[in-house]
Amino acid sequence: MVDAQDGQAIAGVVLVLQGTQVGAYADAEGRFLLRGVPAGPGQLLVSHIGYHPREVPVVAGSGVELKIALQISAVALPGVVVSATRRAQLFAEAPVSIAVAQAAELATHNAFTLSGPLTYVSGVNQVGSQLDIRGSTGYSQGTGSRVLLLLDGFPMLSADLGDIKWDAIPTEEVERVEVIKGAGSALYGTGALGGVINAITRQPSQRPQTRFRLLTGWYSQPAYRSWRWTEDLMYLAGGELSHSRTLGRTGLIVSGGHQRTTGYEENDEFRRYHLYAKVVREVGKSGRWTSLARWASDNHEVFLQWRDRQHPLQVPKGDEGASTLSRKFYLNSEYYQLRGPSLGYKLKGYYYRTEFDNSRAAGGLASVGQKVGAEAQFDFTGWQHTALSAGTALTLDRVTAPKDFLGERQAYNLALYAQGTRRLPPWAEVVAGLRYDRHHRDQGAAGGGGRCVVLPGEERPTQQQLSPQLGLALFPAAHTTFRASVGRGFRAPSISEVYTQAEASGVLICPNPALRAERSWSYEVGARRVVGKHMLVDVALFWNSFDGLVEGRPDPALGEGILAASFLNLDRARVRGLEVEQQLALPGGLRWKAAYTLLDAVEFLAEDQALPIYDGGTELVPGGEAALPYRARHLLNTGLLADRGRVKGGVEFRYMSRFERVSGLFPEGRRDLVPLYLVDVFSSTRVGELELILRIDNVLNYHYVLTERELRSPRRFSLGLSGAF
C-alpha cells in the first residue's frame, strides 16, 4: 500500500526492485502486488512525480505487506527512469539529460497522438511530422528520423521510410514518456543519433477496470476572410474504450478507438481506427512474459503545398484528390527471467509492418515495410555497487515497392553491446558502454528513369561503427547533481533516403545510392539543484559534431523544368547550445515552469561550395559556415499551472525564433516564415472517476509557417471527457 503522509492513497506510483526489471504500479487505491522478488534482502525504488522518491528495504516472502508513505515535494521532480542506462535508476542520478512526461500531463493536451504534447518538453521541437531534440534534426520531407522512438523498449521506426508513425503508438495506454537527449547509439544503435524517446505503457490493473475517453473540438476560421476556403464547421472527434484486469497470474489490457477530423485546411481530413492488446503473464517464481499487439488504419488526405500566398489553406489545382491509406501492425514479445538476486536475462522478439498506398494526385506511391528483430540481454549485479548489462540484437528490414519508387530492398543490422555502472558511495556514479553495429543493405540498381538523374558515386552497402559512451554523475550535496557525458552517434540512412525516386505536386526526389551513414560525437555537462524546498534549476551545455549528416538538398541538375532534390551527406556540421530549466512552487497551489534552449547549428562548407539562399535573390559566399536548415536559435516554453485538488488549470507560452535557413527547394526561401508565438490555456475538473478537460490551443489565432508553403493550425478548441469504472 502506498499513500501520502496525510494518509491519502496515491495512484500510479512506480515500484522497481533495484538491479532488476521486477516492478509494479500502484492502482487507484494505492495498492500493488510485487511478484518474482528473489530470495534475500533487496532495495525497492518507490517514486511518483510530485513526491520525494524512497528506497525501501524488502525481503521476499508470500503475503508480505508493505505500507509505504511518500513525502510531498513542492517541485515536480520525476522519480525512477529506465531509458538512460537500460535499467531502473533514480532520475536525479542519471548521467545524461533526461526529461519525463507523465500520463496526466500528456492528457491535458487533448491530443490524438504524442507528437504535439512532446513539443512542450524542454529541448524538443517538431517540424512537420519530425521530432527534433536539441537541433539534431531539421526537416527531411518526413523520412529518416534521427530520434529513435521506443515503445516499452521496442524500436518503432518503419522499415522503408525510417520514420515515426505516430498513430501506431497507443496514446491512451501510455503511462509516461522518457526523453533521452544526446546520442544514444551506445545503447540503442543506429536510430538514436539525436536522442531516444521511450513511451512506456501502463500495466494491467489488479482489479477489473474499464476506461474511456471522448474528445471533440473545432478550429477557428483564419483571421483574414480572404483565406477562408469553406464556411463549414471544421471539427475533430474521437473516442477510445479499454478494459484491464488480472486473472490469476495473467494480466490483460484490450482497447480500441476511432478518430476523425476535417482538419483546418483543404485536403486535411482523416479517419483512423485502432486496436490494442497487452498480455503480462507471470511464469514460475521469477519469470515474466509480456506481449503487445497493435493494429492501426489511417485514411487521410494529403496537403502537399498551398495553392499560392493568397490562398494558403487550399491546394493547387489537380491536388484535390491527394490521399493516402496506411496501415500498421506490430507484435512485440519479451520474456524476462530473474535467476537469483544478481543475475537476470531477457529475450525479445518483434515484428513491425507498415504499408501505404497513395492516390495518383499524391504521387501514386506505394510501399510495404517489414521490420523483424530479436534481442538478448543479460544483467548482472553480483559485484558490490556494480551493475553490468550485455546483449546482442539483430534486425532485418524488408521493403516491397514498385521499381520506379523504391523497388524491393533488404537491410540488416547486427549489434553487440555492453554497459557497466559503478557506484562510488555516497558521492558518484560512473557509466561506461560500448556498442558495435554492422549495417548492410542489398546492392541493386538505384532506378532512375523518368526525369531523374542518379547521382554519381560509389555505393557503400556495408557500414559499421563502434559507439562508446562514458558518463559521470556526482552528488556533492543533498538535492544536487553534476553530470557529464560523451558518446558516439551512428545512423545508417533509411532505404527511402537512398533509393527514393518520386514526383508529387511539382517536386521531384531522386535517388543517391552513394549515401553513407551519419556519425557524431556528443558532449554534455550539466547540473541540477533543488534550491530550498520550492525551486528546481537544471542547466546543461552540449556540443554535437556531425560527419556525413544527411539533408535533402535541391539540385537543378537532377531534372529539367522542375523543382528537384536528393538526399546528400554534408561534410561536417556542428550543433552546440545551452539549455536551462526552472520550476518554482508558489503559494496557493501555483507552479511556474520554464525551459529555454539556445542553439548554434551550422554546417561547414568546402571552399568551392556555394549554397543558394533565395531571400531577396542573394547567394551565400563560397566556403565558411552556413546555418543548418530548420533549426531555431531560441526556443522557450513557459507555463503557470494551478492545482487545487480536483480542479487544475494553466496557461502556457511557447516562443521559437525564425529559422535562419530552410531547404532552398522553393524560390521564396524563408520569406513567409515568422517567429513563433503561441499561447495555450487549459482547465480540468475531476468529479469522482470522471475528468473533464477544456483546452484552447493558439489562443491568439496566430498564423505561422514552419515549412515552406504550408500554414500551421489556427486556434483550436477541444473538450475531453475521460473516466474509469
The larger pLDDT score, comparing residue 170 to residue 615, is at: 170
Domain extent at residue 505: 80-724
What one-character DSSP code corresponds to residue 90? Answer: E
Residues 186, 466: Cα–Cα separation, whole Å:
8
Q: Residue 599: pLDDT above 60?
A: yes
**What is the average pLDDT across 283-304?**
93
Instruction: Please indicate, yes or no, if residue 425 is contained in any of the structural domains.
Output: yes
Weakest mean pLDDT among 10-24, 262-276, 419-433, 605-619:
605-619
Quote the cell numbers at residue 519: 556519425
Query: What is residue 448's three-state secondary structure?
Result: coil
**Residue/partner pairs of 302-306 with CB below 8 Å, 24 or more apart:** 302/267, 302/358, 302/359, 302/362, 303/263, 303/265, 303/266, 303/267, 303/268, 303/710, 304/267, 304/362, 304/504, 304/505, 304/507, 305/505, 305/507, 305/708, 305/709, 305/710, 306/709, 306/710, 306/711
Per-residue pLDDT tens digits for 71-96:
666 666 666 777 777 777 777 778 88
Which parts of 264-322 are beta strand (E)?
270-283, 287-301
- Same domain membership, residue 620 and residue 476: yes
- Same domain membership, residue 87 and residue 59: no
Q: Residue 66: pLDDT above 90?
A: no
Task: List 537's β-bridge partners, or say none.
Answer: 529, 582
The larger pLDDT score, comparing residue 446 to residue 667, is at: 667
Which residue among 70, 102, 128 closes a domain? 70
Query: What is residue 227's three-state secondary structure?
Result: helix
Q: Residue 391: pLDDT above 90?
A: yes
Q: How far is CA 227 from CA 222, 231, 504, 672, in A?
A: 6, 11, 24, 15
Q: Name the helix (H) or strand (E) containing 400.
A: strand 386-400
Per-residue pLDDT tens digits for 6-23:
556 666 677 777 666 666
Burial (0-12, 13-18, 19+ Cβ within 10 Å), 416 = middle
Per-residue pLDDT tens digits for 542-562:
999 999 999 888 776 665 556
Instruction: Please indicate, yes or no, if residue 595 is contained in any of the structural domains.
Output: yes
Instruction: Please indicate, yes or no, if residue 581 is contained in any of the structural domains.
Output: yes
Q: What is the CATH number of the domain that holds 18?
A: 2.60.40.4130
Residues 621, 602: Cα–Cα separation, whole Å:
15
Q: How far is CA 187 from CA 22, 86, 689, in A?
A: 21, 8, 40
Per-residue pLDDT tens digits for 691-713:
999 999 999 999 999 988 999 99
Which residue among 47, 70, 93 closes a domain? 70
Strand ordering across the sheet containing 147-151? 98-102, 174-181, 195-201, 147-151, 154-155
Neighbour count for residue 335 (Cβ, 10 Å):
16
| pLDDT at residue number 138 | 84
Task: For the chain, give the mean pLDDT.
Answer: 87
Of 498, 538, 536, 499, nearest in space to 518 by CA: 498
- Same domain membership, residue 136 and residue 65: no
| pLDDT at residue number 89 | 75
- Same domain membership, residue 283 and residue 191: yes
The larger pLDDT score, comparing residue 541 to residue 564, is at: 541
Q: How far is CA 455 from CA 10, 217, 459, 555, in A?
A: 60, 47, 11, 10
Which residue among 44, 70, 96 closes a domain? 70
Confidence of residue 160 (pLDDT cuts 50, 70, 90): very high
**What is the average pLDDT across 102-129?**
90
Residues 417, 428: Cα–Cα separation, whole Å:
24
| pLDDT at residue number 29 | 64
Q: Which residues contact 65 (CB under 8 A, 6 or more apart)?
A: 1
**What is the average pLDDT across 372-379?**
96
Q: Residue 470: pLDDT above 90?
A: yes
Burial (0-12, 13-18, 19+ Cβ within 10 Å), 545 = middle
Instruction: Please indicate, yes or no, if residue 408 is contained in any of the structural domains.
Output: yes
Instruction: Please indicate, yes or no, if residue 75 is contained in any of the structural domains.
Output: no
Per-residue pLDDT tens digits for 234-256:
999 999 999 999 999 999 999 99
Percentage, residues of the chain above pLDDT 90: 55
**Residue/partner pairs of 19-22 with CB below 8 Å, 24 or more apart:** 19/87, 19/88, 19/342, 19/379, 19/381, 19/387, 20/88, 20/338, 20/344, 20/379, 20/381, 21/88, 21/288, 21/336, 21/338, 21/344, 21/346, 21/379, 22/286, 22/288, 22/338
Are the CB atoms for 46 and 30 separated by under 8 Å?
Answer: no
Neighbour count for residue 317 (Cβ, 10 Å):
7
Are the CB atoms for 88 and 16 separated by under 8 Å?
Answer: yes
Instruction: Please indicate, yes or no, if residue 448 is contained in any of the structural domains.
Output: yes
**What is the average pLDDT across 504-514?**
80
Which parts of 532-571 are beta strand (E)?
535-547, 550-554, 563-569
- Same domain membership, residue 557 and residue 476: yes
- Same domain membership, residue 569 and residue 551: yes
Q: Residue 346: pLDDT above 90?
A: yes
Instruction: Please indicate, yes or no, if residue 117 is contained in any of the structural domains.
Output: yes
Weakest mean pLDDT among 436-440, 510-514, 618-622, 643-647:
618-622
**What is the average pLDDT across 580-603?**
93
- Same domain membership, residue 286 and residue 347: yes
- Same domain membership, residue 124 and residue 64: no
**What is the average pLDDT across 474-482?**
90
Q: Residue 541: pLDDT above 90?
A: yes
- Same domain membership, residue 315 and residue 182: yes
- Same domain membership, residue 575 and residue 548: yes
- Same domain membership, residue 498 and residue 416: yes
Task: Indicate left, alpha or beta for 479 from its phi (over 0: left) and psi (-120 to 50: alpha).
Answer: left
**Residue 160, CB half-sphere, CA atoms under 13 Å: how many?**
21
Q: Residue 665: pLDDT above 90?
A: no
| pLDDT at residue number 623 | 67
* Single pTM value for the model: 0.91
Q: Residue 519: pLDDT above 90?
A: yes
| pLDDT at residue number 472 | 94
- Same domain membership, residue 147 and residue 34: no
Residues 534, 637: Cα–Cα separation, whole Å:
20
Q: Residue 447: pLDDT above 60?
A: no
Quote the cell numbers at residue 444: 541493386
| pLDDT at residue number 616 | 45
Per-residue pLDDT tens digits for 197-207:
999 999 999 89
Q: Residue 5: pLDDT above 60?
A: no
| pLDDT at residue number 442 | 85
Structural domains of the chain, count: 2
**What is the average pLDDT across 629-656?**
94
Cα dihedral 503/505/507/508 (nearest 10): 10
| pLDDT at residue number 130 | 84
Task: List 355's β-bridge partners, or say none.
Answer: 327, 368
Residues 622, 613: Cα–Cα separation, whole Å:
12
